[in-house]
Structure 1
Amino acid sequence: MLDIQSFAAGRWLAPDDGARPIEDAVTGQVMARAGQAQVEAEAMLDHARRVGGPALRALTFHDRARMLKALALHLGEHKQPLYDLSFHTGATQKDHLIDIDGGIGTMFVFASKGRREMPDAQVYLDGGLERLSRDGTFLGQHVCTPLRGVAVHINAFNFPVWGMLEKLAPTLLAGVPAIVKPATATCYVAERAVRIILDSGILPDGALQLVSGGLGDMLDRLGPQDVVSFTGSAYTALKLRSAPNLLRNATRFVAEQDSLNASILGPDAEPGTPEFDLFVKEVQREMTAKAGQKCTAIRRILAPAGRVDAVIDALRGRLAKTVIGDPRDPAIRMGALVSNAQRRDVLDKVAVIGAEAERVAGDPDAFEVHGADAKAGAFLPPMLFHCADPDAAARIHDTEAFGPVATVMGYRDLDHAIALVNRGEGSLVASVITHDPQVARDVVMGAGAYHGRLYFNDRSSMGEATGHGSPLPHMVHGGPGRAGGGEEMGGIRGVMHYMQRTAVQGSPDMLTAIGGRWVPGAREIQGPAHPFTRTFDALQIGETIHTEPRTVTSEDIEHFAEFTGDRFYAHMDDEAAARNPFFPGRVAHGYLLLSFAAGLFVEPAEGPVLANTGLDGLAFLKPVEPGSAIRVRLTVKHKTPRNDEYGEVRWHVTVTDQEDEAVAEYELLTMVARG
């Protein structure tokens, strides 16, 4: 018997008289207990707000990203105990890779994105500057800062590790402490993962706490700076999100709920094509992975009416090869459901579906289980149904059997398929297997509003595609309507759930100080030497040089045209250029101006500048005629460390003419040695 503990305010707490029993999914025997009669909710919230939050906010986004990477590496070195425990949930070794390795991989992605897409600072800039005055002395900028509360994560039973880490990574990156509440049925796996994380010593005190069992009255103690992130059933989500205290305080509630995900076989995908075979393979995989206990699993299978029989025959053949049994056996392809209670729930939902559809594969009363007792464990076979009249049916579009169950239905044309797939009233994902790009576009236009993700696959992408049921940390995971309306992950978008967007207004100096990026019009700093001779660490934001002027001649223009082959008429023919509404006559090439600008500001001697890696935001603002004199202002706009050897410096470059009017503007990126 395992005693699954909670971690509250720096202490591990054993289960007490309020504990609930937990079954082994394979044997049906009680193997653990978890929960306390009284949850120390106020102490946990206070510890997170008073200790964890300030410690995390003291770090920069890059510090937190490095912390996530270190946690991911540490978990990767200690994942075998998680594998061993996860077998008790009914999961196979392949299922472990989705949950445990997938969760660790998600942490790596957020760590990388934090370093690449967020500043080495404590304020995140959302979008560009807004010019709010004629002369640019009063500007606006949206900024994001960490919420001052706690993130309460309520997770589902099917992915005790991935479900925790995909929420935890963006929360910690934002700088917000988390209290994790895993589903009790599989909390023993989550508890071991939390122990591994805390034992590493990587997180500051108070950044992570754990509730094994019920939350008690914790939700009644949350305020407007807190966040609830929930994964589970629509019924439970409605119950939680409508709690008077959450409504009264406008506490953020992010939900990822159950949904009737669907897959469409494109009208072009005939039997014998790569797309037809791919479709059958994807459906079979989604029905059997994690014994169908995936929030993204395919529940409704849509095929052209004339191909329904072929789809059923092909699926029946593949599903018949699914070997069911003790997941510790490497030969087993599908293990048990998480518990006998879940098995009963699936059978109840199967009865509802069976009233509108015929079962064509899988008999829950007669199937073979290898290495385990089929009556004691929570085993079911993959069950395939066929609905002959999906327009008249109602329950197949609103009933999710959260197990290895799916229903095939035919469609007349693509518009009919779109109408059917949308009847789920919001899903996490719908997939379309087609080789016709127009089909893909029509589905996006017709079904995009109902689905959080649309997955298209065909012979071109099938070799590298990740699959219908694979939410990726780079993309949003969630969906509208029935799916809950949340958008977890999504790269930096996911981090924003735990931050406040604020509109700040002020002078260029104010916005420079707030955002850590030099704003045109802000104070310029005169450095002690040419900035190209100074190391990354020595350079200051706002450090500026103004170059001497250089006159652009007709000979320069002709030489550049000869040298590059760019003989566009505006540079070579005065009369033709004059007929162009944009030019007064013959003008210099824009790229000639960039080349001259570099010649004016570059320090040629060897120094800390290692490489020019590109430029952003190039705009040619005013044509330059022969005889004009240009000069350059070069300013350190922003610095981003990349490693211990060098960092990226973003320079603001403005090219002006003899009238001191800007003719070109851009941002130059260079890698500069540290030291």
Structure 2
Amino acid sequence: MSLLDVSSFAAGEWIAPGAGARNIASAVTGAPLAQAGNDALDVQAMLAYARDTGGSALRALTFHDRARMIKALATHLGQHKQALYDLSFETGATQSDHMIDIDGGIGTMFVFASKGRREMPDAKVYLDGEVEQLSRNGTFLGQHICTPLQGVAVHINAFNFPVWGMLEKLAPSLLAGVPAIVKPATATCYVTELAVRLMLDSGILPAGALQLVSGGLGDMLDHLTMQDVVSFTGSAQTALKLRQNPVILEHSIRFVAEQDSLNASILGPDAIPGTPEFDLFIKEVSREMTTKAGQKCTAVRRIITPESQSEAVIEALSARLAKTTIGDPRLESTRMGALVSNSQKRDVLEKAAILATEATPVYGNPDDFAVEGADAEKGAFVPPMLFHCENPDAASRVHDTEAFGPVSTVMGYRDLHHAVTLANRGEGSLVASCITNDPEVAREVALGSGAYHGRIYFNNRASMKESTGHGSPLPHMVHGGPGRAGGGEELGGIRGVKHYMQRTAIQGSPDILAAIGEQWVPGGSEVAAPAHPFTRKFGELAIGETLNSPSRQVTLEDIEHFAKFTGDTFYAHMDDAAAKRNPFFPGRVAHGYLLLSFAAGLFVEPNEGPVLANTGLDNLRFMKPVSAGDSIKVRLSVKKKTPRNDEYGEVRWHVTLTNQDDEKVAEYELLTMNAF
């Protein structure tokens, strides 16, 4: 059987393995499967191609353009995922594992595409926070903006998730407008290469937006600049070596790391045998030990239980692990496949031996276990291995040694404070979990352990049917952790996109800020509307287009009618003496919602037209009370426009109500959907 050539895609060309190529073995059979690597890659040409060609093309697009591109890529990969499944079996992954890696990666891209359309503007500048008034009269303002870095993102990924690991970094990078050079771990790079080929062959990406290094990076990191980003997933030892690159240090190059993590799961003191929480805990820990054969950066490595329940946990967990069928991942009966390689198998067994110096093996004998449909000696198979540490306070290696496989250690705690202390001895993790039905237990764990973990996952009978699991990083939430876990943050929705952008404080007049941010700023120039704004289609409206309404007097009869009609007879509207005793009112005043209703009457154009719906209002503030006899008028300005689909877009209107003395009495933002 000829070896599969795993190529690199560099500066617009596919380059086959060459000098320096290494063989890759099947995790299932141990037989040579592929070869990858080429020491002759021109890394400087790759960097230039990304920065000059890919970066320029991506920055020419708006956030919405990039979001549509990411969605199209996800759709295309979804149409070809069977080919990825078929190849991924060679990594030792089961079909269930594929759902996490391949389907999970595609799903992550869909989430970022959706968030890009809904939470970012159809523009090239992202506004980060509100406008700050820096002067008394509002003629000098400040605003934080984010713009794409003008470099390249170098993504160095781990072996365990060859598709998700790439896509969870690639999606925010592309959405930010920064091209990527992807370097997967060589052991599983053949799956990543297929995914990259699928994306490049689709024709969706602009030239230079994505390149692939199958094999070593060479001296690429030595040629980075302050506009570049390195995002790394892997061991703490490798991360430390990369961080210390003189170029990265000298130029303060952004370095995002997701590395070793001694994740813990705490069984709450209320979760005794017979409760839904106890059963849930056993199920979750077993799943985290066996999914991807325990080769997950978020897997449970330390099982922290009440001392009184340790024996029950060991018994129940051992019984469940005994049902785990180990074998060829292509078999439907297989529940756990192989480790990624025999070298990884040796590493896991070495780390398990270290754990055995402080903990007693209670389940799983690596010298005697059954494997279905494959040779246990030739393939990288190990059984689930469970240890029990009777004295976790005196132990050290169970808190600093990660066997990156189906290995975990049970340890008992005396009280909840002790449980938190044990969890924190991991010196920083990607995730900790707590299974409890007691909100006060959850609160104590969050307060005591929050500083040590990037994510804390709570689950119980109320959420168990819909929860996603201890070990599932979601694109909506931060994935990363302090200390041993690397100190980085990935994912987290738009937070993840900002890692590839520069936050800049801009200062100037309202019109300057409006021009940069592509949205109207209060105090800025108004654009006279050629017709009533509600008669103009989405594409016809101009930012800053303004309608100034006539005045309307508010009478006592209006106030009383509104009170009786709505049932809102709050004393400030109906009892003059009581209202005067209130420090905020001069006497009886108009309802705030009456003023909003009158405002709508002053600016609404009633006939059928391009305004399809009023979808809400934001940032409502009442600044000054309105008494009977006062008058109000409205200024309605187009603040921002956001396309939603081919038929309509969202218009954000800035609405200001003033009284007869031109004093602001209310202010808010109105949202409408307008036809194109």
| TM-score band, normalised by shorter chain | over 0.9
Task: Using the TM superposition, give the Cα deviation of residue 38 of structure 1 relative to its aligned residue in structure 2, in angstroms.
Answer: 2.4
Distance 1:413 1:240 in 2: 41
Q: Deviations over 1:23-80 (max 9, x none)?
A: 1000011111100122311000000011000000000000000000000000000011
1:106 counterpart letter in structure 2? T
Match of 1:73 in 2: 75
Distance 1:565 1:170 in 2: 50
Name the SS of the counterpart of 1:346 in structure 2: helix
1:325 counterpart letter in structure 2? G
2:662 counterpart letter in structure 1? D
Distance 1:656 1:157 in 2: 62
Moved more, 30-39 or 65-74: 30-39
Percent of aligned pairs with the same residue? 76
Moved more, 403-412 or 36-45: 36-45
Distance 1:512 1:245 in 2: 38
Task: Using the TM superposition, give the Cα deviation of residue 317 of structure 1 relative to its aligned residue in structure 2, in angstroms.
Answer: 0.2
Pair 1:424-2:426 in alignment: yes
Pair 1:613-2:606 in alignment: no
Q: Is the 8 A contact 2:19 2:40 kept in 1?
A: no
Match of 2:547 in 1: 545
Q: Is the 8 A contact 2:293 2:338 kept in 1?
A: yes
| Partner residue of 1:109 out of 108, 111, 120 | 111
Task: Using the TM superposition, give the Cα deviation of residue 229 of structure 1 relative to its aligned residue in structure 2, in angstroms.
Answer: 0.2
Match of 2:191 in 1: 189
| Partner residue of 1:481 out of 469, 480, 483 | 483
Distance 1:31 1:590 in 2: 72
Distance 1:17 1:539 in 2: 60
Pair 1:602-2:608 in alignment: no
Q: Is the 8 A contact 2:620 2:667 kept in 1?
A: yes
Match of 1:159 in 2: 161
Match of 1:440 in 2: 442
Q: Deviations over 1:465-512 (max 9, x none)?
A: 000000000000000000001110000000000000000000000000
Name the SS of the counterpart of 1:369 in structure 2: coil
Distance 2:288 2:172 in 1: 27
Task: Using the TM superposition, give the Cα deviation of residue 101 of structure 1 relative to its aligned residue in structure 2, in angstroms.
Answer: 0.2
| Partner residue of 1:345 out of 310, 331, 347 | 347
Name the SS of the counterpart of 2:528 in structure 1: coil
Structure 2: runs of 5+ lacking an equivalent: none
Pair 1:590-2:589 in alignment: no
Match of 2:405 in 1: 403
Match of 1:148 in 2: 150
1:574 counterpart letter in structure 2? D
Q: Deviations over 1:600-652 (max 9, x none)?
A: 00000111000000000000000001100100000000000000000000000
2:474 counterpart letter in structure 1? L
User: Pairwise mapping of residues 354-365 of structure 1 onto structure 2 (< 5 A)?
Assistant: 354-365=356-367
Distance 2:106 2:51 in 1: 26
Distance 1:231 1:544 in 2: 51
Match of 2:572 in 1: 570
Name the SS of the counterpart of 1:666 in structure 2: strand
Name the SS of the counterpart of 1:649 in structure 2: strand
Q: Deviations over 1:206-249 (max 9, x none)?
A: 00000000000000000100000000001100000111110001
1:607 counterpart letter in structure 2? G
Task: Using the TM superposition, give the Cα deviation of residue 258 of structure 1 relative to its aligned residue in structure 2, in angstroms.
Answer: 1.3
Match of 2:247 in 1: 245
Task: Using the TM superposition, give the Cα deviation of residue 17 of structure 1 relative to its aligned residue in structure 2, in angstroms.
Answer: 2.3
Distance 2:644 2:39 in 1: 49
1:122 counterpart letter in structure 2? K
Moved more, 520-529 or 158-167: 520-529
| Partner residue of 1:269 out of 268, 271, 292 | 271
Match of 1:219 in 2: 221
Pair 1:129-2:143 in alignment: no
| Partner residue of 2:203 out of 181, 201, 208 | 201
Distance 1:39 1:396 in 2: 42
2:650 counterpart letter in structure 1? E
Q: Is the 8 A contact 2:28 2:90 kept in 1?
A: yes
Task: Using the TM superposition, give the Cα deviation of residue 527 of structure 1 relative to its aligned residue in structure 2, in angstroms.
Answer: 1.6
Q: Deviations over 1:101-123 (max 9, x none)?
A: 00000000000000000000000
1:509 counterpart letter in structure 2? D
Task: Using the TM superposition, give the Cα deviation of residue 552 of structure 1 relative to its aligned residue in structure 2, in angstroms.
Answer: 0.3
| Partner residue of 1:228 out of 224, 227, 230 | 230
Distance 1:489 1:63 in 2: 20
User: Pairwise mapping of residues 468-507 of structure 1 onto structure 2 (< 5 A)?
Assistant: 468-507=470-509
2:364 counterpart letter in structure 1? G
Distance 1:283 1:568 in 2: 55
2:215 counterpart letter in structure 1? G
Q: Deviations over 1:338-390 (max 9, x none)?
A: 00000000011001100000000000000000110000000000000000000
Distance 1:638 1:223 in 2: 35
2:140 counterpart letter in structure 1? F
Match of 2:661 in 1: 659
Q: Deviations over 1:165-186 (max 9, x none)?
A: 0000000000000000000000
1:267 counterpart letter in structure 2? P
Structure 1: runs of 5+ lacking an equivalent: none
Q: How many residues align?
A: 674
Distance 2:600 2:19 in 1: 74
RMSD value over aligned CA atoms? 0.4
Q: Is the 8 A contact 2:18 2:40 kept in 1?
A: no
